[in-house]
Amino acid sequence: MNNDVEIIQINISGEDKPGMTSSLTAILARYDAFILDIGQANIHSSLTLGILIRTTSDKSGFIMKELLFKASELGVMIRFTPVGEEQYNDWVKRQGKNRYIVTLLGRKVTAQHIADVTQAVYEQGLNIDSIVRLTGRVPLLEDERAHKSCIELSVRGNLDDRDLLQRRFMELSGTGLDVSLQKDDIYRRSRRLICFDMDSTLIETEVIDELAERAGVGEQVRAITERAMRGEIDFCESFTERVALLKGLDVSVMDDIARNLPITEGLERMMTILKRVGYKTAILSGGFTYFGNHLKQQFGFDYVYANELEIENGKLTGRYVGEIVDGRRKAELLRLLCQFENINIAQSVAVGDGANDLPMLNLAGLGIAFHAKPKVKATAEQCISTIGIDGILYFLGLKDSSVEERCK
């Protein structure tokens, strides 16, 4: 009798029933078949199970016969495909290639979005290994409730032109889709520190403009901000000029503004989940510590670094205390926090909207431009423009279903 090695691919599909995988693999166990690979996906109530086995020719006939009977008893389809050794070895070799995670995020991810992203992936010679939905199930008739949607692709291959692919993905942001491309390495699954800009990132306003408005110098401050944006004056210079205009403002105004800060959509949910899964969080802001501390208290951030306004006799003096937190300082603080917390810089994440966030976005392992100014968006590798700030949870690979369980 000829006992040659045989490799057989088994594909089972049909209605999911409890105990199905167990009863099928029990047959493989009885004949001592070795499982080279196994994968299962459930879509709606149907199951697709794939198993690749190595056995010998004296047993393969019995295995297939028994599996066939069992499948018919269970009412599912089964298909057997012989796999040549060479074919198998080719497949094993391909496993070594680079892996990437592509995340599609939006209020609604459409079939067209998926077609566009997968076309770009295909053109780069990458192969899709798996597709997973990270957001909860979509209710059929209540479209408004399905206010966000996220699908994650795991792809593999040698990426020739990462910049080109990234640009293709960025172009899609005009169609209501954010696409992120991350290398799927150990750091991707072990991020530990997240640094946030404050104004227009954690809150939907620029506090300095509100203070200026209340101090009756709104127009002047806005004019300086505009000059700074045009690059006519640098951040430190414009900061000093603007703070000087706030001289005489009563501290009670700061308190009033702090208590009424317009919180960015998704902030509370994001912080609850980040804390529960053990992330360290920091606010690194070119704004003011007074408001940063308020957010720290309300949402449980671990660190706040921002600018300190000098107060005398209950009024702002128009001066600040200590070193200005500008773009360069934000990046430096990110590096220092990593050192202090014993975290590899590749495990850090930075999130911000302004030009002064670019140094920290570029330095962090994952830099996310959040509802950012065009210049920032064009430079950053990842961006979120379509949904709230809890969208970053998906870039971290956190699935709604597992996160919601943790919250109970």
143 is annotated as an active-site residue = no
Cα distance between residue 235 and residue 229, in whole Å:
9
From 196-204, 220-228, 302-310, 366-374, give the range in contact with Mg ion by CB under 5 A: 196-204
* Binding status of residue 353 toward Mg ion by CB under 5 A: yes
What tokens appear for 317 in the block?
């003096």
Q: Which of 116, 197, 353, 357 is catalytic?
A: 197
Please count the CA atoms within 13 angstroms of the CA of 42 that sit on its side-chain side.
8
Number of residues engaging Mg ion in binding (CB under 5 A): 5
- Please select the residue that binds Mg ion; options are 6, 199, 381, 400, rule is CB under 5 A: 199
What's the closest the beta carbon of residue 372 comes to Mg ion, in angstroms? 9
Q: Which of 116, 178, 199, 353 is catalytic?
A: 199
**Main-chain phi, psi angles of 244, to 5 degrees:** -60, -35
What's the closest the beta carbon of residue 230 comes to Mg ion, in angstroms? 17
* Binding status of residue 359 toward Mg ion by CB under 5 A: no
Cα distance between residue 30 and residue 85, in whole Å:
24
What's the closest the beta carbon of residue 325 comes to Mg ion, in angstroms? 12
What's the closest the beta carbon of residue 376 comes to Mg ion, in angstroms? 9
199 is annotated as an active-site residue = yes
Given a contact cutoff of 8 angstroms between Cβ atoms, the answer to whether 28 and 63 are in contact is yes
Beta strand 99-106 pairing with 178-183:
antiparallel
What's the closest the beta carbon of residue 365 comes to Mg ion, in angstroms? 21
State the amino acid at position 111 in one-letter form.
A
SS3 of residue 369 by DSSP: strand
- Please select the residue that binds Mg ion; options are 200, 238, 307, 385, rule is CB under 5 A: 200
* Nearest to Mg ion of 197, 210 (CB atom): 197
Handedness of CA 282, 284, 289, 291 (dihedral sign): negative
- Please select the residue that binds Mg ion; options are 178, 197, 390, 400, rule is CB under 5 A: 197
Strand order in the sheet with 77-83: 34-43, 46-56, 5-15, 77-83
* Nearest to Mg ion of 354, 367 (CB atom): 354
**Main-chain phi, psi angles of 30, to 5 degrees:** -60, -35
What tokens appear for 178 in the block?
């954010």
* Binding status of residue 210 toward Mg ion by CB under 5 A: no
* Nearest to Mg ion of 197, 400 (CB atom): 197
Query: Residues in the site for Mg ion, rule: CB under 5 A?
Result: 197, 199-200, 353-354
Residues marked active site are found at 197, 199
